[in-house]
Structure 1
Amino acid sequence: MTEKSDTASSKGELKNDVHIEKANPGEVSLVANLEALIRNPLAGIPREQLMRDVADFAKEHDLEDILPQLRTGALVAQSPHDLDSIPELEATDREHLVREHTHKWRLPRPLFLTIAICSIGAAVQGWDQTGSNGANISFPIAFGIGAPEGDPNYIRDRWIVGLVNSAPYIASSFLGCWLADPLNHFFGRRGTIFFSGVFCLLSVLGSAFTQTWEQLFICRLILGIGMGAKGSTVPIYAAENSPANVRGALVMSWQMWTAFGIFLGTCANLIVYNVGAIAWRLQLGSAFIPAVPLLIGIYFCPESPRWLIKKSRYRDAWKSLVRLRHTELQAARDLYYIHCQLEVERQYIGQGNFFTRFFELFTIPRVRRATLASFTVMLAQQMCGINIISFYSTTIFADAGADNLHALLGSFGFGLVNFVFSFPAFFTIDTYGRRNLLLFTFPNMAWSLLAAGFCFKIPRESTAHLGLIFFFVLVFAAFYSPGEGPVPFTYSAEVFPLSHREVGMAWAVATCLFWASVLSLSFPFILATFGSTGAFGFYAGLNVVALVMIFLFMPETKQRTLEELDYIFAVPTSKHMAYQTGTWLPWFVKRHILMDKSAKLKPLYQFDRTLQGDDVSEVIEHEHTPHAKSETVVSEKPHDEKL
């Protein structure tokens, strides 16, 4: 590093932005990446030196039996764009490397199994949320906390109902999410998912047999422990096992199948709504169904190779990668590349105990920027107002004049739209990008929510009253599902360095679920005090605030390896904000409002080429361009799309 004193800084000083001006040529700082460069950690290493390094790595970690694969894999990782320069590469391996990009959805079966089990875990999360939605009609009356409007106990009972509904989110944000860090440390990703599944199974069965609202409140607190640990681990597990070019689509299965779980929950609510006094018990208890295959299936999945590398279990990481990739060469390439980038990460960031790493979320610049971005996108999920529909849609439709059956049918329609419209994100999140999906959907969520609120002003006698409310709620859900639905958990699972990934994800999910608990607790009171129009208008305004926050604080992460994101989040927040307001926004106005086709966008990020030699040509990805596919400016030589 070049400092004002021209002396080498210590590790402690490397964590301070104050004295750092600029990296030396050939060096990219993970502290203050002022040039917005992205480095391949193997770039510029002479072939002979690279082979010696690989041999030393294999000897140190008892991997000498796979030394030939590691050597070839290291050469591929060093020059993924120039496979013809690697004579050791066999034709079969070359074909598989090309097919990674031309047939990216042909994934190994163990990887599909892993994503399927993660999807079941997400469905558990969604079903757990929806059981209380249908039960809200009945359990308050059964427990004597359903006083009608005008009764002296009406406001008190509204607060109690809100407290019961918010219980899982309170427990998740204050305990469940933070347990994920020590659980992951001792038991790994799979063990933590199993632990959380046990809580999600037993607590919902207990909820079905409660006799007082206090007992139900305690059962839902226990449910929150499982939900928090699971929500903090499953997206990380999926992200760490997935290739970079489809990681977003695979990790977003969390939200897509959470939406599917919500849909299944609304189906269960409808099926049992007319069975009498036990209907609400069946609605709450039915969420045990997806928890059973989760507990069984996680046993057959491979452990996260990055977690195994973090534990210096390189042999086990190799075995896991062999299962998760098509060929041993691809597994060897990823094993050595991950190891090298993590060595760079440790140099700048280091590792510590839980409390040290928690405080470093706010003190180490690279980690702090990830903390801010994940906080922004998670908070935005609650600010957008989706959970006033997820938690209380049946209540909202009933207040709009629907009977119990039609209120449940309205919730069923919401759940169906929420699931169906998550599919577009599956195909766009890795091309259109996480950030662009949000910038497009948030303005549309704002106006549709506002329109739904104003429709409550239509006289109830009019057939348009309930119909338009229902319509605009579905429009809101249709815009939410491909944007703020899948992005937050996908984004938060990938932005933190491996050393801080568990505690960082715990922070992100705790942020999300804490504000979900605030929303769940307060919305019955807000609805009673301000009415439906005021409540919907309030959240429409919050959508606009969230849009501004995302625009300023959230970098794009699409098609980057988890290790490359270290360089993205080493760019100072001030530089990112200046680019968005001074470069991207003027370009967007000229190109898409004034329709000036000659407008050109100067990219923020580019690959560092100072150590890569003349054979490596310039690659700049225009990741801020809002098109369905990323645009890449490439010189004469062909390059790997991942760059």
Structure 2
Amino acid sequence: MDPVKSDVAHVDVGADPEKYEEVPRSGSRQQSVSLNRNVTARIQNPLAGIPRATLFQNVEDFARDAHMEDQIPLLQKGALVAQDPPSFESVEELDEVERDALRNEVLHKWRQPVALYFTVILCSIGAAVQGWDQTGSNGANLSWPQDFNVPDTPPKEGPVPGVDYDYNSWIVGIVNAGPYIASAFIGCWLSDPLNNYFGRRGTIFFAAVFCLLSVIGSGFSQTWPQLFVTRLLLGIGMGAKASVVPIFAAENCPAAIRGGLVMSWQMWTAFGIFLGFCANLAVYNAGAIAWRLQLGSAFIPAVPLVIGVYFCPESPRWYIKKGRYNDAFDSLCRLRNTPLQAARDLYYIFAQIQEESDIIGKSNYVTRFIELFTIPRVRRATLASFTVMLAQQMCGINIIAFYSSTVFVNAGAGRLQALLASFGFGLVNFVFAWPAVWTIDTYGRRALLLFTFPQMAWTLLAAGLCFIIPSGSDAHLGLIAFFIFLFAAFYSPGEGPVPFTYSAEVFPLSHREVGMSWAVATCLFWAAVLSITFPRLLRAFHPVGAFCFYAGLNVTALIMIFFWVPETKQRTLEELDYVFAVPTRTHMNYQLTKALPYWLKRYVMFQKGARLEPLYKFDGAVAEHQKVAVIKEA
């Protein structure tokens, strides 16, 4: 017997799930929202309206099936709380300690167990490997091409006869792109099978080992093909790690602070970039081995990840997916403040996953990949994650992260000046990532993107135009650096943390691994394209044309985000099923006919009385919970 579906009408998606119509349900619930075509944009609690006796019977059936009979009273209390979250004060079965813990979820949302913070921070440290490697190769690019006899830039005294600088620039680009090529085509796609067999922690351990050993190997390379191979191996670990760590964090965190904690991935990436620039400066005078130290030092943040990952609790949602409900409950008890909150989340997650199964059955790896584009609810998540990940490369941040030293040398800086200016970029990138810890869950993912992309466009355009200033002028290098730093300041709290946080949230549990693999592969594939092409683009377009080109891509990305990226803040991972059930056409029409006119009236014409009708309507207890959140934020 299915303890949840016994009171729920089944949905027949048939051959064309887009034609689904809402149908009545038993009990007091009037309608079920289609998770493929949510034309009314309603968000529904799957437990709302179920009579108390029926709910208790469903919980007992679930507990027996899950071999958790000893937890039935606790699970029943948890189900009552999950059924109507704002009304927990009226649940007679709760004691004062449990009520106080539930109050603190709203009043003190950052008051969480040590195990939760340890898990998120430790795993996100792995992102520092990626950031450190980017900047290590950034500084190393000034030396290793000469050591391996593939110089890509003519010396100041003029080109050396017989040296093909155009050909060498392609080699430098391909070597720098090695980790992103391997990530996009191998590492990311290993995430799904690795997760299936070894769990989130096992996949992270596998990835960390690759990240640890491969960067050490890069420091001992004797030819550019050897360096290329070590960087390909790094990409295998980097892709698997980037595909699973944000998922791991998102699945473990409460909805109210999920964005702020999951974005620690980007925080540590930015910190890794900053540490990489520090390392570049620290070994500046190390002579012929400087570039080897710059590349090899990126192994450092992988060490705590390898040692500590199995001290973290496994994802409870992965346990639920495997039918290991006792393990899921034990994990939730470590990640939540009280057993009641663990029981509530366990049963609520289980109930919503049963709703998902109405539209998504069991499928193999290949089928799940195909379903990213064929199941409407999943397809919308695929489009949104593709958009934010592609935008991260379109915005041009990695032309600075990969090649800032080269850019500053082109601006007339000496080698030390270029490294110092790059250090400044890394510092700005890290410092301005901090505000997103609070703003990402307050203003939302979409709002941060829509605000920061126009700012990135004009600052990148200004940086490019500053190359027109005569190089002998004092203002030349200073203004270029200023606008690049300003660009980084706008990037860091917006497009920096959002893509990985967002992509880890938007897919249903059944497709979360392969969906995140798709998203990260998209990001890193285009990072590889950028890395390969920018040295040649810089030679062909010169810095003015290259920077202006990426400024134009920022505008294109802004339009894509405006139409295709729904908001996800402060919704549980399961409630997002309803958000992504809203047809893309409905979302686009709302943005064009409601949101854009409102914005023009409110912020261009300064009409304070302008009001925006919300797109999403929250049903029952979910609506009340939303009101509580809004009041708290106010």
TM-score, length-scaled by structure 2: 0.95
Supply the AA of the counterpart residue of 1:16.
P
Gaps of 5+ in 1: 1-6, 610-615, 623-628, 633-640
Displacement of 1:631: 4.6
Alignment pair present for 1:139 and 2:150: no
Alignment pair present for 1:552 and 2:563: yes
2:42 is aligned to 37
1:347 is aligned to 358
Supply the AA of the counterpart residue of 1:175.
I
2:56 is aligned to 51
2:98 is aligned to 93
Secondary structure at the aligned position of 1:306 is classed as helix
Secondary structure at the aligned position of 1:423 is classed as coil
Supply the AA of the counterpart residue of 2:501.
T
Residues 255-285 of structure 1 show CA distances to partners (whole Å, capped at 9, x for unaligned) of 0110001000110011001110000000000
2:69 is aligned to 64
Displacement of 1:23: 4.7
Displacement of 1:168: 0.4
Supply the AA of the counterpart residue of 1:385.
G
Displacement of 1:630: 7.5
1:16 is aligned to 17
Supply the AA of the counterpart residue of 1:219.
T
2:84 paired residue among 79, 84, 87: 79
Greater shift, 129-138 or 475-484, is seen at 129-138
Residues 460-519 of structure 1 show CA distances to partners (whole Å, capped at 9, x for unaligned) of 110100000000000000000000000000000000000000000000000000000000
Separation in structure 1 between the aligned mates of residue 209 and residue 84 of structure 2, nearest angstrom: 45
Separation in structure 2 between the aligned mates of residue 70 and residue 183 of structure 1, nearest angstrom: 32
1:113 is aligned to 118
1:311 paired residue among 322, 335, 344: 322
Q: Residue 22 of structure 1 contacts residue 34 of structure 1 at CA under 8 Å; is this kept in 2?
A: no
2:27 is aligned to none
User: For the structure 1 residues 318 and 509, does the alpha-carbon distance in structure 2 shift closer, same or farther, using more than 3 Å as the test?
Assistant: same
Alignment pair present for 1:175 and 2:186: yes
User: For the structure 1 residues 561 and 620, does the alpha-carbon distance in structure 2 shift closer, same or farther, using more than 3 Å as the test?
Assistant: closer
User: For the structure 1 residues 420 and 23, does the alpha-carbon distance in structure 2 shift closer, same or farther, using more than 3 Å as the test?
Assistant: farther
2:6 is aligned to none
Query: What percentage of residue pairs aligned between the two structures are identical?
Result: 66
Secondary structure at the aligned position of 1:62 is classed as coil
Separation in structure 1 between the aligned mates of residue 619 and residue 74 of structure 2, nearest angstrom: 27
Separation in structure 2 between the aligned mates of residue 84 and residue 154 of structure 1, nearest angstrom: 72
Q: Residue 45 of structure 2 contacts residue 622 of structure 2 at CA under 8 Å; is this kept in 1?
A: no
Alignment pair present for 1:331 and 2:332: no
Runs (4 or more) in structure 1 with deviation over 2 Å come to: 7-13, 19-25, 147-152, 616-622, 629-632
Secondary structure at the aligned position of 1:561 is classed as coil
Question: Which residues in structure 2 correspond to 1:598-609 (within 5 Å)?
Answer: 598-609=609-620
1:218 is aligned to 229
Separation in structure 2 between the aligned mates of residue 16 and residue 148 of structure 1, nearest angstrom: 56
Q: Residue 449 of structure 1 contacts residue 540 of structure 1 at CA under 8 Å; is this kept in 2?
A: yes
Instruction: Number of aligned residue pairs: give it.
Output: 614
Supply the AA of the counterpart residue of 2:516.
M
Q: Residue 86 of structure 2 contacts residue 624 of structure 2 at CA under 8 Å; is this kept in 1?
A: no
2:255 paired residue among 222, 241, 244: 244
Secondary structure at the aligned position of 1:57 is classed as helix
1:499 is aligned to 510
Displacement of 1:618: 5.4
Secondary structure at the aligned position of 2:279 is classed as helix
Q: Residue 606 of structure 1 contacts residue 619 of structure 1 at CA under 8 Å; is this kept in 2?
A: no
Alignment pair present for 1:561 and 2:572: yes
Separation in structure 2 between the aligned mates of residue 122 and residue 116 of structure 1, nearest angstrom: 10
1:412 paired residue among 394, 414, 423: 423
Q: Residue 208 of structure 1 contacts residue 282 of structure 1 at CA under 8 Å; is this kept in 2?
A: yes
Separation in structure 1 between the aligned mates of residue 136 and residue 286 of structure 2, nearest angstrom: 15
Separation in structure 1 between the aligned mates of residue 548 and residue 361 of structure 2, nearest angstrom: 46
1:299 paired residue among 298, 310, 315: 310
Q: Residue 39 of structure 1 contacts residue 567 of structure 1 at CA under 8 Å; is this kept in 2?
A: yes
1:209 is aligned to 220
1:626 is aligned to none
Q: Residue 606 of structure 1 contacts residue 621 of structure 1 at CA under 8 Å; is this kept in 2?
A: no
2:455 is aligned to 444
Separation in structure 2 between the aligned mates of residue 362 and residue 339 of structure 1, nearest angstrom: 25
Separation in structure 2 between the aligned mates of residue 8 and residue 426 of structure 1, nearest angstrom: 40
Separation in structure 1 between the aligned mates of residue 295 and residue 87 of structure 2, nearest angstrom: 56
In terms of fraction of residues, the more helix-rich structure is 2
Supply the AA of the counterpart residue of 1:541.
G
1:369 is aligned to 380
Separation in structure 2 between the aligned mates of residue 128 and residue 263 of structure 1, nearest angstrom: 11
Residues 220-240 of structure 1 show CA distances to partners (whole Å, capped at 9, x for unaligned) of 000000000000000000000
1:637 is aligned to none
User: For the structure 1 residues 43 and 413, does the alpha-carbon distance in structure 2 shift closer, same or farther, using more than 3 Å as the test?
Assistant: same
Separation in structure 2 between the aligned mates of residue 231 and residue 195 of structure 1, nearest angstrom: 12
2:411 is aligned to 400
Secondary structure at the aligned position of 2:137 is classed as helix
Alignment pair present for 1:534 and 2:534: no
Supply the AA of the counterpart residue of 2:61.
D
Displacement of 1:16: 2.6
Secondary structure at the aligned position of 2:541 is classed as helix
Separation in structure 1 between the aligned mates of residue 246 and residue 194 of structure 2, nearest angstrom: 15
Displacement of 1:85: 2.3
1:122 is aligned to 127
Q: Residue 605 of structure 1 contacts residue 621 of structure 1 at CA under 8 Å; is this kept in 2?
A: no
Separation in structure 1 between the aligned mates of residue 441 and residue 373 of structure 2, nearest angstrom: 28
Q: Residue 158 of structure 1 contacts residue 524 of structure 1 at CA under 8 Å; is this kept in 2?
A: yes
2:5 is aligned to none
Supply the AA of the counterpart residue of 2:296.
G
TM-score, length-scaled by structure 1: 0.94
2:437 is aligned to 426
